[in-house]
Amino acid sequence: MCIFCKIIDGEIPSYKVYEDQDVLAFLDISQVTKGHTLVIPKKHYENFVDVDTETMQKVMVVAQDLAKSYMNKLDCTGLNILSNVNEVAGQSVFHFHVHIIPRYHATDDVVIEFKESPEQDLPALQNLLKKD
């Protein structure tokens, strides 16, 4: 059983901030910034692309609701909402989760940087990626 399934089952303790039949939210142990929170479905899905639409909606609604209330309850001035997919993107726990990372300063210990990269053929990419 994965570590987050163990948290859901109460085998591993957590600091819950929201719970309903389908969704759980709890404080991330890393606390990269004050209030760093994870929102997860109670059913095990590996990641963002694996989860079914209905569950995704439930998780995101809770994430948005918490995000709104964090903007009031914490002295943060922004948030990062993110979900890592697979190891290459930094996923370390393979149970779908959405990070809520309150932001206080641009220099917080959160590094999400869009560096300069080689130019892309945008029309070709559009052709490849657009949905019919």
CB 39 within 8 A of CB 61: no
Tell me how far apart the alpha carbons of residues 70 and 34 are, in angstroms, rounded to a whole number.
10
Scan residues 4-33 and list those touching Zn ion (CB under 5 A).
4-5
From the list Zn ion, ligand AMP, none, partner contacted by residue 12 (C-beta under 5 to 8 A by kind): ligand AMP
User: The tokens of 57 are what?
Assistant: 């909606």
Task: Provide, rounded to whole angstroms, the least separation between the CB of residue 70 and Zn ion.
Answer: 24
> Is 105 annotated as catalytic?
no
Nearest 5 degrees, angle CA 79-CA 82-CA 84? Answer: 155
By CB under 6 A, name the binding residues for ligand AMP: 3, 12, 14, 28-30, 38, 84, 90-93
Question: What is the per-residue binding string for Zn ion in 66-105, x denoting contact by CB under 5 A?
Answer: -----------------------------x----------
Which has the closest alpha carbon to 60: 21, 101, 99? 99
